[in-house]
Structure formats: C-alpha cells, structure tokens
C-alpha cells in the first residue's frame, strides 16, 4: 500500500535507540521511552498561506528529524508502525557530521 500525506503533513518512522546506557546498563521495556528521532518516509505537497498560495515544506523523504514527544498520530501501514504529523511538530533536521 502507498500512502501520501496531504498538505503540510509528513509520514515518518521512529528510529529505535540503544537498549543500553553508556555505562552498559540495560534499560527494561517498562521504563524505556519512545524515541523522539525519526526518518521521513513521505511528505505532503505543502501548506497554504493566508492568500491560498502553496509553500513547500522544509523537510524531504530520507531526512532524519527530531520531533516533540507527544506529537503525531500513530498509524499502521503494511504492518509497520509509523507516525503522521504536521511539519510544525518537527523541531529540526539532524545532519550527519
């Protein structure tokens, strides 16, 4: 199945973090928080300003991003858990060093 977000929404996949701390302590699932880092899978066509003109989004498919903890709506597409959220819920793009 293909999914294309509308307007200023994006579809992203959470990136799982390590289950160990830097000191080697294993974090149990009951205490572990959901990651706030993800990879953009698909983007919408863009938002509209007050005059109705479409503006392009700042993110694109393949970007690694950091988003707020409680943002987005969880959806299951082809058995994979993904998030749909507005671009404004994304705090920034993570660039490789």
Length of the chain: 97
Residue 4 domain-assigned (yes or no): no
Phi, psi of 87 (to 5 degrees): -60, -30
Domain that holds residue 39: 9-15+32-94
Instruction: Check residues 14 and 34 and name the one with the higher pLDDT.
Output: 14
Note if the pTM is more than 0.85.
no
Residue 70's pLDDT is 82
Q: How far apart are CA 89 and CA 38, in angstroms?
A: 12
Residue 49 has what pLDDT? 83
Say how many CA atoms lie within 13 Å of 63 toward its Cβ.
Answer: 18
In a domain, 3, yes or no: no
State the total domains in the chain: 1
39 and 15 in contact (C-beta within 8 Å)?
yes
pLDDT in tens, 48-72: 888 888 888 889 889 999 998 888 8
Residue 21 domain-assigned (yes or no): no
The enclosing domain of 40 has a CATH number of: 2.30.33.40
Decide if 73 is inside a domain: yes
Q: C-alpha 15: how far from its chain's center?
A: 9
Rounded Cα gap, residues 38 and 18, in angstroms: 14
Task: Using a pLDDT cut of 70, give the percent of the chain over it.
Answer: 78
């Amino acid at each position: 199945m293909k999914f294309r977000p509308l307007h200023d929404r994006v579809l992203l996949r959470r990136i799982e973090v390590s289950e160990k701390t830097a000191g080697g302590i294993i974090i149990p699932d009951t205490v572990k928080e959901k990651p706030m880092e993800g990879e953009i899978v698909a983007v919408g066509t863009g938002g509209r300003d007050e005059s109705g003109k479409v503006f392009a989004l700042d993110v694109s498919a393949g970007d690694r991003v950091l988003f707020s903890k409680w943002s987005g709506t969880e959806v299951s597409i082809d058995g994979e858990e993904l998030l749909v959220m507005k671009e404004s819920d994304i705090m920034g793009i993570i660039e490789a060093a």
